[in-house]
Chains A and B, each alone.
Chain A
Amino acid sequence: MADSDGRQVDSINHSTGKICKELTKEEKQRLRKEKKQHKKNKKDDRGPPEKEKEKEKASVLAPSKPATQSPAHKAAPVPVNASASESPVAAEKPAKSKAEQRAERRARQDTERASKQGKKEGGQQSASSKPKATPNELQPVVKRLPEHIQVDDPAALKKLAKKLERQQVRQINIVPLRSDYGYKVSLFSHLHQYSRKNPPTQQISIPATVIHPSIVRLGLQYSQGIIAGSNARSVALLHAFKQVIQDYSTPPNEELSRDLVNKLSPYISFLSQCRPLSASMGNAIKHIKKEISNIPSQCKEEEAKRRLQECIDSYINEKIILASEAISKYAIEKISDGDVILVYGCSSLVNHILCEAFEKQRKFRVIVVDSRPRLEGREALRRLVKKGIRCTYVLISALSYILPEVSKVFLGAHALLANGYVMSRVGTSQIALVAKAYNVPVLVCCETYKFCERVQTDSFVSNELDDPDDLIVTRNGKTHLENWQTVKSLGLLNLVYDVTPPDFVDLVITDLGMIPCTSVPVVLRVKNVDQ
């Protein structure tokens, strides 16, 4: 998924006419092939001029890998490209012909590739090609569904096993496949459900040589929940990458820019086996990979490593630390004296905002809402009370009781999706819904690096299942659910995330300013154009 997005970015560069820093070997080969094809199919030139605009759009979609096709993900690129295509078309009229030619060449290649694929998976293609008929008949858009939401599809599982096998070093499987645990509720059987009692390190050798030790440590900390929270996970990931880069040495006859990316791939697979990657982590990884591949080949290894370390430091500084400063500044404007602010769970950003506001002598009190089984609100409560803020603590079941007192709701986000939906800890959408019913303003605080190009309208399609044994509680020495697996009709479901529709969110405070929820795609577009 990250790869295809990355390629998309590159292709947008192409269509806007910016000169790429280097034409890689693949590009050169492709150009040569295109020239040959162009000579063969000169008569097709008449067709394209009508579908110029659509080709522009489609050319953006084309370079994504033509693997299995899935209609669901087509929706994601379309709104982005709808907006993306306007700027390139407006920007250069004279370059249109060249771009158009390139587009049609790519279209032809894709149809060939697609037809080859079609021979293997004929049924799928016909099904997905129908919704794609509208933008362009010659461009079957191919976006792969990520593996972690296709657990009940045996073909996808086989593919994952093969992928992990391919990442072999000296004929040893680097990343062991972690097996699912317990009965999964049927509505969520397409997601992984791991148990904390089967750690991912069971099959990894003890002096971790094949996977870097700091990555193993990180994976363990993720799976045990020691590092939880979107920002914390990203920072820890980047820290581990810094260690990896520090200890990396280029093998002979290899280029750092390509080899390091290949080295990182099995590590990322391992981490996603420990705990599915978050949107913020995905964006950070994309950024790092881009930086690595942009290192010029004549750069010395020490220099390259130093540059990468600096780049990681500046990413964290800009996107996390300074962003939270900026967001607090905006948010403090929204907090007035006498406010009663409701927060849910433990969001590092919201806690930071409230602490800053308290330091700036704003008079307010906070109501912390908490929910089982994580009970993260206790940690938020501790931090706020330590600062000196007056707090009340309730469980989410008392929400409608406490809401008449509340003047504002501040929520943190795990990710902001491209259609304006807010993905956050499970329970957030409930809070937003009830707050809307009571006409209490809901403000979501989110840094821009958590903005994701995915589109989701419900919490079922892509989510995370936590360890079901967390739901079991022991009171007075009795554990009633101890043998829940033996009861056939019982399933324990421990969801981690849910999505809140933009109608319930009044304002999103980002480091770029205060924007409505529906402006997220604009921000994404601006970000992509910058890159």
Chain B
Amino acid sequence: MELQAVLMAAGGGSRMMDLTYNTPKPLLPVGNRPLIWYPLNLLERVGFEEVIVITTKEVQKALSTDQRLKTDVKMRLDVVCIQEETDMGTADALRHIQQKIKTDILVVSCDLITDVALHEVVDLFRAHNATLSMLMSKVHEFTETVPGQKGKKKAGEQRDFVGMDVTGKRLLFMANEADLEEGLVLRKSIMHKHPRMLIKTGLLDAHLYCLKRSVVDFLVHNKSVTSIRGELVPYLVRKQFSKSLNSKNRMFGVHNKCTSKDEALLQLARERSCWNDHRGDMSEAYHGGKLRCYVHIMEEGMCYRVNMLAAYIEANRVVPKLFEDPPIHPTAVVSERSLVGSDSIIGPFCQISGKTSIKRSNVGTSSTIKEKVKITNSIIMNGVTIEEGCNIQGSVICNNAVIGRGADMKYCLVGSGQRIEPEGENDVVQRSAGYTTRTKTHTLQFCSSAVFVLNPAFCVCVCVHSHAHVCLFVCVILCVYVRFNVLIAY
């Protein structure tokens, strides 16, 4: 067998606590399917027949009971449970299942939604006999307003610096901004071997890795490595150019099943071949190095990592368009006098009463929506009850919440199982775990609408705008500036 797939579904979703404090992240509904369905679907489409899923007990239960997961996924799922309390990193998880791993592995994270042609990543792994092959894509700017966000985007988000060679495939350098103190430090040996390096910062790591079997053995010996992304990948990238010829380095290059005779044959074939991956210096292909890391960068296509609220909302917008499922599930009961827009989806067993208007929204399983409700741009999860006369705009309502009569919500986030009192005037209300915060709304609202209007053509402006502190004065100036720009363009 060539590759074994490992799906990491034990993560807590620590950056989306509002959504995940009650529901585990792999089961969050995106486009009315649990999040874990998407990577499973990707693996199934390319031809995997078996996946090792590392997850918690709750998710394991759901995997065996959830309708969508049971019927749609035809692969054999080998579920490995780990305790939630043990703070296991991804590398620890690999160490945990070391016995099951018999060949090279493909590690996927449960929050990856993508339509990448997976053979591009795996071809790099195969053709160059690489130790690591990963997938990255261009960062998308999120355009939707995120409820609860005070206008300052990505306060804690750190950039990744990725260095590649001229071809754009070989990975030479990888560091996170957090690990760099003052500046980027590049080793001279790398510059000697690859004098031209492209460094990119606007890339999103998709957390999809092809790893050689020997890397898992390495992890078993080195118990200090806990996270694949945080520690293992930068270590491997650095180790490519390490001069030390100790056994650790040699371990990575050796094929498990290869005897010395076969190695000699491969060596002979490489010697006789007139190919070199670089030119200009006197060294052979790959500079004689045994450890190689490759990256495939997706230029076009969809790639989302649903680990933040903004990404979650964006994914919910984009994903329904991909599938040919009917927007309104056949088991949903939709009254004739209601208006369901073409870009909305209604999940199974829903009940939509008359005179409701649903636009650009996702309504989850078993939700009940009473009369005269207006829902725009929102995400309603499973089991939600919305009483009459509500007006919900740009909000996210989690599982089993109840929205009382006549509530008017704009850009709100309602946590799981919460109740909103009837006749509530809520501009920006964040309700989670039983407490409410109210923030000043006026400036935020104005800015949000500005974003909405300007966004399609002027992303740069949006960036500048969102990093700066929100200020009415600035907004006005910016609007004028942008309108000026519009005149020039036309």
Contacts and interface: CB of A to CB of B under 8 A. Distances in A.
B123 A220 contact: yes
Interface stretch (A58-66, A300-308, A328-336, A372-380): A372-380
B119 interface: yes
A205 B272 CA distance: 31
Given A206-B47, A225-B275, A378-B279, A238 B265 contact: yes
Interface stretch (B1-9, B139-147, B357-365, B375-383): B1-9
Contacts of B265: 235, 238-239, 242, 316
A232 B272 contact: yes
A207 B2 contact: yes
B131 to A, nearest CB: 15
Interface stretch (A101-109, A208-216, A473-481): A208-216
Interface string B272-310: 111110010010000000000000000000000000000
A478 to B, nearest CB: 18
Given A199-B123, A201-B123, A220-B126, A227 B276 contact: no
B275 A206 contact: no
B269 interface: yes
Given A207-B3, A229-B274, A380-B274, A217 B46 contact: no
Contacts of B257: 243, 246
Nearest to B282: A386
A227 B275 contact: yes
Given A202-B117, A205-B46, A228 B274 contact: yes
A229 B266 CA distance: 14
A68 B47 CA distance: 38
B269 A236 contact: yes
A409 interface: no
A376 B119 contact: no
Contacts of A243: 257, 262
B262 A346 contact: no
Interface string B421-433: 0000000000000
B155 interface: no
A232 B3 CA distance: 26
A509 B261 CA distance: 29
B78 interface: no
Given A207-B1, A235-B265, A239-B269, A224 B127 contact: yes
Interface of A is mostly: helix
B203 interface: no
A488 B261 CA distance: 53
Contacts of A217: 126-127, 129
Nearest to A374: B274
Interface of B is mostly: mixed
Given A206-B48, A207-B4, A226-B128, A232 B123 contact: no
A348 interface: yes
B460 interface: no
A205 B126 CA distance: 13
A232 B1 contact: no
Given A199-B123, A220-B126, A226-B128, A206 B46 contact: yes
A382 B276 contact: yes
Contacts of B5: 207
Contact of A379 (B1, B118, B266, B275): B275
Given A207-B48, A221-B127, A346-B274, A232 B119 contact: no
B122 interface: yes
A231 interface: yes
Contacts of A318: none
Contacts of A204: 47, 119
Nearest to A348: B272
B268 interface: yes
A478 B127 CA distance: 30
B276 A379 contact: yes
B101 to A, nearest CB: 13
B231 interface: no
A206 B46 CA distance: 6
A236 B264 CA distance: 11
B119 A206 contact: yes
Contacts of B271: 232, 348
B261 A376 contact: no
A313 interface: yes
By Cβ-Cβ distance, the 8 closest A-B pairs, closest first, are A205-B47, A346-B274, A232-B273, A213-B2, A232-B272, A348-B272, A236-B269, A235-B269
Given A232-B271, A235-B268, A380-B274, 15 more contacts: A201-B123, A201-B126, A206-B118, A207-B49, A208-B2, A217-B129, A229-B272, A229-B274, A239-B266, A243-B262, A346-B274, A348-B271, A348-B272, A378-B276, A382-B282
Interface of B: 1-5, 46-49, 106, 117-119, 122-123, 126-129, 257, 261-262, 265-266, 268-276, 279, 282
14 contacts: A201-B119, A202-B117, A206-B47, A206-B106, A207-B2, A220-B123, A227-B270, A232-B270, A238-B265, A242-B265, A321-B268, A378-B276, A382-B276, A385-B282
